[in-house]
Structure 1
Amino acid sequence: MTPLALDDVLIEVGTFGRFQLRQFLLMILPLVFNAFSNLSYVFTAADLKYRCYIPECEKRSDVAYLTEWLPAAVPFERNQPTGCERYEPFVNITSDYIQCHASDFNHSAIMRCYDFVYEDKAATTIVNEFNLTCDENTWKITLVGTIHSVAQALALLLGGLFSDRYGRKWALLLCLGFGSTLGIIRSFSVNYEMFLVLEFLEPLLGSTMYTTAFILGQELVGPKQRVFAKSLCLVVFALGEATMGVIAIFIRNWRHYLLVLFVPGLVSLTFLWVTAESVRWLLSKGRNKEAFSVLEKAAKTNRKTLSESTLKYFATNDYQRESPQLPANPSFFEQMAEVFRFKRLTIRLAICSFCWFTNVMVYYGLTLNSVTLAGDKNVNFILITLVEIPGAVCMNFILNRFPRRMTQFVSLSVCGVLCLVTLAIPEDDTWIHTAMFIFSKMAISFSFGVLYIYTAEIFPTNLRQSLLSLCSMIGRLGSIVAPQMPLLAKVWKPLPMTLFGSIALLSAFAILEFPETSNVRLPNTASEAENLKQNSFDSDLLHEIGQFGRFQVRQYGLMVLPIIFNALFTLSYIFTAGNLEYRCLIPECEQPATDVYNPTWLNVMVEFYIDERCQRMQYISNDTLLDGECSDANLNSSAIIPCDEFVFKTEDTTIVRDFNITCAHNDWKLTLVGTINNVGQFVALPIAGYLSDRFGRRWILLVSVAGSALFGLLRSFATSYEMFIAMEFLDPVVGSTMYTTAFILALELVGPKMRVTGNNIISCAFSFGEALLGLLAMYFRDWRILLRILYIPGFLSLPFLYTTVESVRWLLSKNRKDEAFTILKRAAKNNGKTISQAALERFNSIETKCGSTRSLQKQNYSYLLREALSNSGLILRVINCSFCWLTNTMVYFGLSLNSVTLTGNKYLNFILVSLIELPGFLLMQLILDRVGRKKTLFTTLVLSGLFCIVSVFIAGIDAPALHLTLFLLSKLSITMSFGTLYIYTVEIFPTNLRQSLLSTCSMFGRIGSMIAPQTPLLAKIWNPLPMILFGCLGIASAIATLQFPETLNNELPNTIEEAMNIQGNDIPATGR
């Protein structure tokens, strides 16, 4: 009997009908929550502007950040008071609080201060709450993002394993549930240590939310709709990021901010229960009856009818996997062993991982640095995140018209170039810097979106999420580095953009080694992934059920939810741990309760400068003065004393204010939040990928959303920094697989022609989540409230996500043909299609191609892993993929995190950096299916690297708009690269290991997201250092992608052999 492909059935059920739309709508929740989880530390561990409190000149009850007398008491740098140093007052000071004079202070004696006045009195982050002020604490702030990324990296591999082992749905639910719970707990952190631990645990348990939701959305979409599906994910994630910025605007308290972010995650679990399990996963696990039920439901929802051949095919229980010698239920290690037996697949995995590292590092690096741009940090964050949406829209048009490889190459190259261009822009030209920043973010978002599709298309079904998680885990190394970019900026301000640009360009060249996967069926085995080529198995069936009909639309609609949640959860720390502007409280001149950040006496001695904002000059007299009477005559300029109290510029509350994380010696606590979050994701991804490939995508997705929402909500009640950091860790640990699981669930049921569209849907959803994060952060300035607003919807979404269908490919890879056929029938019915007799006969005769049913029933995960590990080509592919993931993750999150450091409103910068992803996704949509995955990934990485490096050369130019433009272009390129990498990872790995290998790549990508939160520390060493790192990694990853096979017009491989024999076909697949 002629073999029947899942894509044939998907065409019958409708490639993107109401069923897929519903699925994608459900996936919105975990995607948004993932955005919250990934970048919440941007605000919760955000640094604040502050100065030393001058008790000789002001009262605590009535302090202002800037006053006329302040220069007499505090050294100034760049027209701003230094944060931790002040002039030593003369002991005979007699001034009152009304006036302070230069004569009151000894300007030759600089003192360290321990009390501060913050510019934003309403804002609280862990900086002011845990007293993480001054340079000696900078590493603590950047460590937050790094720890977050470390957890993400670990989580991605574990999440991929769990998702491939136990299904995408459970992985998603667990991630969302645990991630939200730990995020909520983190809001109750009582100290920095607790905050950091929770920042690690949250991504560890919830960071696979995105990949799980992505896979859930992709696997049930026809080939022609994959790009659109991915675009939806990217848009939702970007909106989730932007939402974080909006929430941060209104909720300035980091505890409230975390509660707003994570409480919805728990609520969404009630909706996500309805999410259908991945049909591909069900089939890969031999659960054909369940897969058939999902397909049947999809067909019915899409108003399609499965053909007699399909019905007969499933009825005879003939859908089996390849490699008849494999034992039943192969373990992850056996399947990985099979991957490593194939040289091309191994190289592909290596390059993919590097590309992920680049995309993640540049993406998060730009996002994190958006709050450092000139202007309102919340607005900047929102702009940086919302810019992902046009990127996703562009990707939706480009990827179906141009090959994946070229699209990925161009987006990374653009991002790299824009990052490097910012080096030549004067620093005063803030609008140009912002524009460059936004375009960089859009480019890296585009690249990220392409990378997701690419990753999904180059790996087989049974290892798709595992390898995607593996690449993502390595990519998390980039997000681990990204939070440290501020440290590089301290060395040289343009250094982060130089790094972003360089690494993006490097990844762009590496991507040229990928096979083209545009219009190629998703590989179900390592063999198919190794030898990607266009064949009739997938596309026929997907064409018959509809490549992107109402069934797929419903699936994608459901998957949008976890994607948005993933965006909200992943980046919530940007605002909950965001630094605040503060200064020393001068007890001699003001009362502790003062709300005047810049009193008139503050500017008396403008000619004196000190480096620390937590030190001030000693006041000569110990007499208590009245406000406004501080005089510079009473300053001892030779005595610098530390501040004990601070005055915050705004009322924003993050963990900085709540946990008193002020001054340089506490900076590490803030950066640690993002790092811990990514560490949690790093830990969770491999487990979630394994569980997803083992037990199905659907359950993993539900668990991810529920867990992340739970921990995110708990984080909002953190009573100390230690509790907060613990919840920040646990949230991604249980919920970080949301994205990969939702991604694979969405992508695997999409035909080759629609993969880019499907990928863009996911990417846009994530960008929407990012922008939503920025918007929420803008209006919810209390971090606790913000977290609750972000995470509660996660719980509410669970009932919807519960209706998500399982991956048909996973069901088939697990020999659950009946379940797979049910889903295909449902998809065909929903899409108004009918599965033909010929397609059904081909589907039923798959045993002729794969071997006897009896032999296949002896398959087990361990055997497949051993087979994968014995294939050197597949091993190299995993390694390469992991490096690409590390690069993409580090650059992507590094840019996102650094967006709040750009000149201007940090919320707008973050939103812009998020929204720039949307045009990146749109470009990816237009390019990926025309120029191929490999060229696209290569180009986008190169551009991302170049933009980052160029920004280094314009660092001394006072052109904020130019710097922002380069930043945005870098983010745009890395977004396109990331999107391409996701698709690529799915397409180059086999079905039975797809989520495991995707999670593995994503896990290594999390190393990038671990580093990303630390990039602010790099900026303190040398300001351009982060961009240099991003640029170099981008270019390196671009070169690594050259080892990937082209997957354009190829089916998804079902076996390791298929994965290793991928042969690019630049001719678009034609419909029937």
Structure 2
Amino acid sequence: MYGTNYDDVTEFLGDWGPFQRRTSLLLCMSILSNGLIVFSIVFLAATPPHHCAIAPNANISAEWINYSIPLEEDNGEMRYSKCTRYKLDVIKLLSDNGSVPGIDVNITEIEQESCKDGWEYDRERYVSTIVSEWDLVCSDAWKVPMTTSIFLIGWLIGSLISGQLSDRFGRKIILFGTMGVQTLFTFFLSFSTSWLMFSALLFVVGFTIISKYVAAFVLGTEILSPRIRMIYSTVGISIFFAVGYMLLPLMAFFIRDWRMLLIAMAVPGVFSFPFWRFIPESPRWLLSQGRVEEAEAILRGAAKMNRVTAPEVIFQPLQEENHMKKLKRTNICDLVKSNSIRWITIMLGFVWMIICIGYFALSLNTSNLSGDRFLNFFFSGAVEVPAYILSWPLFHFCPRRLCLFAMLCFCGAVLLVTQLIPRDFSSVSIALEMMGKFGFSVAFCIVYPFTAELYPTVLRNTAIGACCMACRLGGIAAPYFVYLGTYYKSLPYILLGSFCVFGGLLSLLLPETYGMPLPETIDHMQTIQRCKKKQTSIQQVILH
């Protein structure tokens, strides 16, 4: 049967010939722009130090200008108020009378007013951001986190739709289609004339981020041999995402204007368009659609490139079986059609959500750490590189369920310990948060290929898209977990740590795929559930 011997049939290609090297490298390079864009909002929507502007025609003495902004306590330091100023008409009257602040007049007794003349922003760190461009501060400060939420909602919709489109129309066309849309709309973002326009365009960019990543991930997974597949899905594609992640603070350091930064971020996408000629469609997907001749043509071209001889007949015995199945369409409803698949989908959804909450919460919190924001962000990306490197031997030699269980429990333990560290030991807290980011990165790197191994070819992209949708729900919730710290500092760590331990235990209930071939149909998927009966009994206990 095709579902059990595809890897054996295509073994003549070898593991790591020129075809595999070129395809995997180009697919990885196409993801680099994702790393640039995902957390770019940290710099695009950064809020510089600011205070109320004083009208240039107010005709106030320099001495009174220095005292026209109230001082407020901020984290133990006295700073200028960000949203209020003393009433200018009173200040002007006192200035004209020659009164001296603090001597002739107690300035704290002067009535205050809002920033009617706008704000003045510190330009030392950022020349311009969307915050300083459209004054997204004080009463409009809610628009900054809303911008991130809109981006993630686009990501959520993309997770829901793109997988089904990819399973219907092919991996390659979705990969390059979303690549083109992402590049164009990132460029269009730099010409935004209002916050509303910026948010609408950013929604589209968010839609393409996950669509492109999942298409590239699945395409490489289905083309490469089992041994190389593990390296590609754990280390390869993730390393290039991390490279883009680390390039972002470097670009933001040298390009301090948000419009120019967006133009620079669009450039890598332009150079990815020529990859269309060299990246083929997935032969596995073509076979699932009954397009046997096209699949054979791709494999014969790969054999020629690898300088090996392809068999005279590759898939001939399977043509009749695939022809009977090519009219059978799958959709997202198939993820919950049978009891066993339904439980796998539900449990994976919770695991993905928990990983995403932790990963995004720690990533977004990087800007709140002490020290230089650019360096902190760079280190936050750099810590992912050893995490991805470690994920490969773990995925290669260890059962998938145990890897997820170990990483999630490790993250839970680190977060629960972090909230016990006294405030005076901030460096220890930062180190523990980086360790948590390391663990979440490993878990993310494992859960993607694990999910791809659980679902069949006809449903694989849809399944990963659905799991990414659950992941995005976690991403949307992540900022609010961080916000809970304003009420009780330890609450985010306690909640995240507890959820991680729960997710680790939940992952033990999933089927094990270590050493199993990729399933091609839903029937094949059911055959790898070696613990099906045991899981059903556990689930019945949970339900009751």
> What TM bracket, shorter-length normalisation?
0.7 to 0.9
- Greater strand percent: which structure? 1
The 5 Å alignment of 1:574-973 reads none
Tell me, yes or no, if structure 1 residue 517 matches structure 2 residue 519. Answer: no
Quote the Cα distance in structure 2 between the aligned partners of 1:95 and 1:224: 81
Corresponding residue SS for 2:454:
coil
Q: Find the counterpart in structure 2 of residue 83 from structure 1.
A: 82
Q: Find the counterpart in structure 2 of residue 501 from structure 1.
A: 497
The offset of 1:133, in angstroms, is 0.7
Quote the Cα distance in structure 1 between the aligned partners of 2:3 and 2:135: 65
| Inter-CA distance 53–299: structure 2 relative to 1 (3 Å threshold) | same
Quote the Cα distance in structure 1 between the aligned partners of 2:51 and 2:294: 62
Decide whether the 8 Å contact of 1:151 with 1:203 is kept in 2. Answer: yes
The offset of 1:72, in angstroms, is 7.7
Q: Find the counterpart in structure 1 of residue 426 from structure 2.
A: 430
The offset of 1:54, in angstroms, is 5.5
Quote the Cα distance in structure 2 between the aligned partners of 1:196 and 1:131: 15
Decide whether the 8 Å contact of 1:72 with 1:105 is kept in 2. Answer: no
Corresponding residue SS for 1:519:
coil
Amino acid at match of 1:184: F
Amino acid at match of 1:409: F
Quote the Cα distance in structure 2 between the aligned partners of 1:244 and 1:216: 26
The offset of 1:200, in angstroms, is 1.0
| Inter-CA distance 193–437: structure 2 relative to 1 (3 Å threshold) | same
Amino acid at match of 1:7: D
Q: Find the counterpart in structure 1 of residue 172 from structure 2.
A: 169
Quote the Cα distance in structure 2 between the aligned partners of 1:502 and 1:484: 16
Q: Find the counterpart in structure 2 of residue 107 from structure 1.
A: 108
Amino acid at match of 1:79: E
| Inter-CA distance 93–429: structure 2 relative to 1 (3 Å threshold) | farther
Q: Find the counterpart in structure 2 of residue 37 from structure 1.
A: 37
Decide whether the 8 Å contact of 2:359 with 2:437 is kept in 1. Answer: yes
Q: Percent of aligned positions with the same letter in both sequences?
A: 29
| Inter-CA distance 386–71: structure 2 relative to 1 (3 Å threshold) | farther
* 1:558-592 deviations in Å (ceiling 9; x for gaps): xxxxxxxxxxxxxxxxxxxxxxxxxxxxxxxxxxx
Decide whether the 8 Å contact of 1:142 with 1:484 is kept in 2. Answer: no
The offset of 1:32, in angstroms, is 1.4
* 1:760-784 deviations in Å (ceiling 9; x for gaps): xxxxxxxxxxxxxxxxxxxxxxxxx
| Inter-CA distance 338–146: structure 2 relative to 1 (3 Å threshold) | closer
Among 263, 266, 278, the residue aligned to 1:259: 263
The 5 Å alignment of 1:16-35 reads 16-35=16-35
| Inter-CA distance 428–139: structure 2 relative to 1 (3 Å threshold) | farther
Moved more, 160-169 or 425-434: 425-434
Quote the Cα distance in structure 2 between the aligned partners of 1:80 and 1:302: 68
Corresponding residue SS for 1:331:
coil
Q: Find the counterpart in structure 1 of residue 346 from structure 2.
A: 350
Tell me, yes or no, if structure 1 residue 215 matches structure 2 residue 214. Answer: no
| Inter-CA distance 127–301: structure 2 relative to 1 (3 Å threshold) | same
Tell me, yes or no, if structure 1 residue 74 matches structure 2 residue 75. Answer: no
Give the root-mean-square deviation of aligned CA atoms: 3.3
Corresponding residue SS for 1:425:
coil
Tell me, yes or no, if structure 1 residue 203 matches structure 2 residue 206. Answer: yes
Q: Find the counterpart in structure 2 of residue 312 from structure 1.
A: 313
The offset of 1:264, in angstroms, is 2.4
The 5 Å alignment of 1:321-360 reads 321=322, 328-333=326-331, 336-360=332-356
| Inter-CA distance 317–83: structure 2 relative to 1 (3 Å threshold) | same
Quote the Cα distance in structure 1 between the aligned partners of 2:459 and 2:2: 25
Among 158, 176, 179, the residue aligned to 2:182: 179
Among 233, 240, 244, the residue aligned to 1:240: 244
Amino acid at match of 2:220: G
Tell me, yes or no, if structure 1 residue 131 matches structure 2 residue 135. Answer: yes
Gaps of 5+ in 1: 63-67, 535-872, 878-1038, 1044-1072
Corresponding residue SS for 2:211:
strand
The offset of 1:102, in angstroms, is 7.6
The offset of 1:419, in angstroms, is 2.4
| Inter-CA distance 142–102: structure 2 relative to 1 (3 Å threshold) | farther
Q: Find the counterpart in structure 1 of residue 404 from structure 2.
A: 408
Among 145, 149, 160, the residue aligned to 2:148: 145
The offset of 1:163, in angstroms, is 0.8
- Greater helix percent: which structure? 2
TM-score, structure 1 as length reference: 0.46
Quote the Cα distance in structure 1 between the aligned partners of 2:104 and 2:474: 50
Q: How many residues align?
A: 524
Decide whether the 8 Å contact of 1:412 with 1:508 is kept in 2. Answer: yes
Q: Find the counterpart in structure 1 of residue 306 from structure 2.
A: 302
Amino acid at match of 2:265: L
Amino acid at match of 2:165: F
The offset of 1:315, in angstroms, is 4.3
Quote the Cα distance in structure 1 between the aligned partners of 2:106 and 2:256: 35
Decide whether the 8 Å contact of 1:73 with 1:105 is kept in 2. Answer: no
Amino acid at match of 2:25: L
Amino acid at match of 1:48: P
* 1:222-260 deviations in Å (ceiling 9; x for gaps): 222332112111111111111112211111211111111
Q: Find the counterpart in structure 2 of residue 94 from structure 1.
A: 95
Quote the Cα distance in structure 2 between the aligned partners of 1:70 and 1:357: 49
Decide whether the 8 Å contact of 2:3 with 2:520 is kept in 1. Answer: no
Quote the Cα distance in structure 2 between the aligned partners of 1:189 and 1:160: 30
The offset of 1:365, in angstroms, is 2.0
The offset of 1:486, in angstroms, is 5.0
Higher relative contact order (CA 8 A, sep 6+): 1
Among 112, 132, 154, the residue aligned to 2:157: 154
Q: Find the counterpart in structure 1 of residue 453 from structure 2.
A: 457
| Inter-CA distance 428–140: structure 2 relative to 1 (3 Å threshold) | farther
Corresponding residue SS for 1:520:
coil
Among 346, 358, 363, the residue aligned to 1:362: 358
Decide whether the 8 Å contact of 1:425 with 1:433 is kept in 2. Answer: yes
The offset of 1:153, in angstroms, is 1.1
Corresponding residue SS for 2:315:
helix
* 1:136-194 deviations in Å (ceiling 9; x for gaps): 33321111111111111111221101111111110000111011111111111111111
Amino acid at match of 1:38: V
Amino acid at match of 2:291: R
Among 472, 476, 479, the residue aligned to 1:476: 472
Quote the Cα distance in structure 1 between the aligned partners of 2:443 and 2:313: 42
Quote the Cα distance in structure 2 between the aligned partners of 1:372 and 1:34: 23
Among 384, 392, 395, the residue aligned to 2:391: 395
Quote the Cα distance in structure 2 between the aligned partners of 1:191 and 1:257: 17
Quote the Cα distance in structure 1 between the aligned partners of 2:106 and 2:82: 17
Amino acid at match of 1:75: E
Decide whether the 8 Å contact of 1:44 with 1:125 is kept in 2. Answer: yes
Decide whether the 8 Å contact of 1:148 with 1:480 is kept in 2. Answer: no
The offset of 1:2, in angstroms, is 9.6
Quote the Cα distance in structure 2 between the aligned partners of 1:347 and 1:218: 24
* 1:721-780 deviations in Å (ceiling 9; x for gaps): xxxxxxxxxxxxxxxxxxxxxxxxxxxxxxxxxxxxxxxxxxxxxxxxxxxxxxxxxxxx
Quote the Cα distance in structure 2 between the aligned partners of 1:523 and 1:2: 9
